[in-house]
Structure 1
Amino acid sequence: MSHSRVVRVAAAQLSPDLQSAAGSLDKVIGAIEDASRKGAELIVFPETFVPYYPYFSFVCPPVKSGKEHLRLYENAVKVPGPEVKRVGLCAKRCEMVVVLGINERDHGSIYNTQLIFDATGDLVLKRRKITPTFHERMIWGQGDASGLKVAETVVGKVGALACWEHYNPLARYALMTQHEEIHCSQFPGSMVGPIFSDQIDVTIRHHALESGCFVVNSTGWLSEQQIESITEDISLQSALKDGCLTAIISPEGKHLVEPISAGEGVLVTDLDMTLITKRKRMMDSVGHYARPELLSLLINEEKYENNHQIATHNHQSAGLKFTKETPDES
């Protein structure tokens, strides 16, 4: 793509429908259509927004979470499936790139999955969170590196990671080596408290600086009524408040528009793609600032389904120089 162009993007902070996938999906379609009327060419939604993030697993002990866990299975999305088709058709109709987080059901397992739809409506990337965090390990299976890809879209090279995957520097570097231009990050929001918002801010701004890309970040939000429906324990309700920061960051680590930290809303702003070169002129982490003769990254791109390898070995170096060592058989 030409770096002289301007791309208008949107980041949605919404509350999910905690009762059904259909309700959350209706909000996704509505937000896409609204952002389209404002001229947006890309929109990002919160982590596992359809049907909803499993907030219950953060505040309920495992022995009491069986009913809600099963309900999540019932509402989880299959890929391909009707929900995916509906989003694809909407993306095509609105000529917009859509980055959506879902709970993906694959037979007896659920995964934290990110979907990237091009403006043609085609699903150009499906990836699963490689390591669920803390309480999430009771809910989701582990993803693999086959999805650590940057998607070629009409707005440029788009990459995505979910929540604390941003604390895995090698996962971020894998996307950086593919020269992502717009990084789409997703967090659950409405968790932990204000410190979570602060951490999100530091994390996404650092990635923008280090990668020399734009970051479009989306978090979810829960109303007081929703929080009370998840847990009646007042002492636990505070754990489901604050922690929201929907934001759009430049390659220079600056907020391009005032972020949203509470309530529902959609940010819309323009990205001047020339800022990517402006940043990388001084510090290109995977180019003139890299030292591949000292440091390199090995990516195992094997794809696994239900813990079974379904692809041949495909080890790829993300550095500029790589030597594969083999054991001495003598």
Structure 2
Amino acid sequence: MNNTLKVGLIQIAPVWLDRVKTTDKIIDYLHQAGKQGCQLVAMGEGLLPGYPFWIELTHGARFNAQDQKEFHAHYCQQAVQIERGDLDGICKVLKQHNMACYLGIIERPLDRGGHSLYCSIVYISEQGVIKSVHRKLQPTYEERLTWSPGDGHGLVTHSLGAFTVGGLNCWENWMPLARTALYAQGEDLHVANWPGSVRNTHDITPMMAKEGRSFVISVGGLMRPEDFPKNSPHFDALMKDCPPDFLTDGGSCLCAPDGSFMIEPQVGEEGIYTATIDHTRVFEERQNFDPVGHYSRPDVLQLSLDQSRLSNLKIK
């Protein structure tokens, strides 16, 4: 088995709240990554079709406000329904290039009635098959005004060459037990996806790498004032308090299992940032610390994980 893997961090902005155009942009970058020989690519949180920036920009906590209802309705209509085939084109391109992917989406799943939204990270194999959909366990702060809490069904890992890969959304990377659930399933290559902020990725990426003695990819998106389409709902209200440069600035980076940066945080530019990682480094760093192996005490400390998919309906 080849111990190396070429990874690509795709740092881009969405065509905000336009599922079809953002999908087309993602596919274009996937083709570019495939031509560069990437075997695994990752993209930011909620990239398809975009992060709910209107909540902060337009006082989203005003209860029963008509503009907030209109924003949310538009978001729902542009969200991803996997059951409908919204990711089929992306899966096809990944299969064409024999390339796996972690993709951040806003999901509107039918198994929860089809009217609520979840921030999900989707793992698609190099055969173009969706292997897991992890719905964010706990939306952060104002995100709770539009995203629903997820479950443990997608807290799983996947084999990719010599590596075992797993992923978490944004601030759930700060949740020690969520990280531990993946470590315990053999994770040695972790993907953390973010809306995009170097103030987050610069600190937590080396910390997670040192803790897990794993390679850690942090990948973020970009959002600039010009990335809001002029036909966005309440466009003038969005622009009124919009920062002049960035709402999110990327910050994508890669750390080795000793916490050192292999790709320094990338700020302010769209692009594909690549590196080749060697699984041997994992064994080297776990010589003196393995969080779920020789340095663990399961007789004293254990974690219970419920991987069931939550639903309001049980059909017997």
Give the TM-score taking structure 2 as reference length. 0.89
> How big is the alpha-carbon RMSD for the aligned residues of Structure 1 and Structure 2?
2.1
Residues 301 and 179 from structure 1, CA distance in 2 versus in 1: closer, same or farther, beyond 3 angstroms? same
- Counterpart in 2 of 1:122? 129
Question: Does the aligned pair in 2 maintain the 1:144–1:304 contact within 8 Å?
Answer: yes
- Counterpart in 2 of 1:327? none
Q: CA deviation at 1:141?
A: 1.1
Query: Is 1:86 aligned with 2:89?
Result: yes
Q: CA deviation at 1:13?
A: 0.8
Question: Does the aligned pair in 2 maintain the 1:97–1:155 contact within 8 Å?
Answer: no
User: Which letter does structure 1 place at the counterpart of 2:107?
Assistant: E
Aligned with 2:203: secondary structure? helix
Question: Does the aligned pair in 1 maintain the 2:40–2:100 contact within 8 Å?
Answer: yes
CA distance in 2, matches of 1:258, 1:127: 27
Q: CA deviation at 1:66?
A: 1.9
Q: CA deviation at 1:238?
A: 6.4
Q: CA deviation at 1:26?
A: 1.0
Q: CA deviation at 1:55?
A: 1.3
Q: CA deviation at 1:36?
A: 1.0
User: Which letter does structure 2 place at the counterpart of 1:41?
Assistant: Q
Question: Among residues 91, 96, 100, which one is paired with 1:97 in the alignment?
Answer: 100
Aligned with 1:244: secondary structure? strand
User: Which letter does structure 2 place at the counterpart of 1:276?
Assistant: V
- Counterpart in 1 of 2:199? 198
Gaps of 5+ in 2: none
Question: Among residues 286, 293, 296, which one is paired with 1:287 in the alignment?
Answer: 293
CA distance in 1, matches of 2:115, 2:86: 19
Aligned with 1:16: secondary structure? coil
Gaps of 5+ in 1: 190-195, 312-330
Residues 309 and 149 from structure 1, CA distance in 2 versus in 1: closer, same or farther, beyond 3 angstroms? farther
**More deviation, 293-302/125-134:** 293-302
- Counterpart in 1 of 2:195? 188
Q: CA deviation at 1:239?
A: 9.8
Question: Does the aligned pair in 1 maintain the 2:221–2:249 contact within 8 Å?
Answer: no
CA distance in 1, matches of 2:240, 2:249: 19
User: Which letter does structure 2 place at the counterpart of 1:109?
Assistant: S
Question: Does the aligned pair in 1 maintain the 2:201–2:253 contact within 8 Å?
Answer: no
Aligned length: 301
Q: What is the percentage of aligned positions where both structures have the same residue?
A: 26
Q: CA deviation at 1:74?
A: 0.7
CA distance in 2, matches of 1:293, 1:38: 47
Question: Does the aligned pair in 1 maintain the 2:16–2:50 contact within 8 Å?
Answer: yes
Give the TM-score taking structure 1 as reference length. 0.86
Residues 249-268 of structure 1: matches in 2 within 5 Å?
A: 249-268=255-274
- Counterpart in 2 of 1:325? none
Question: Does the aligned pair in 2 maintain the 1:97–1:119 contact within 8 Å?
Answer: yes
CA distance in 2, matches of 1:254, 1:23: 36
Aligned with 1:170: secondary structure? helix
**Cα deviations by residue, 1:160-209 (Å, 9 ceiling, x for unpaired):** 000000111000000011111211111002xxxxxx52332211211111
Q: CA deviation at 1:292?
A: 1.5
Aligned with 2:261: secondary structure? coil
Query: Is 1:269 aligned with 2:312?
Result: no
- Counterpart in 2 of 1:278? 284
- Counterpart in 2 of 1:28? 26
Residues 281 and 309 from structure 1, CA distance in 2 versus in 1: closer, same or farther, beyond 3 angstroms? farther
- Counterpart in 1 of 2:180? 173
CA distance in 2, matches of 1:219, 1:279: 26
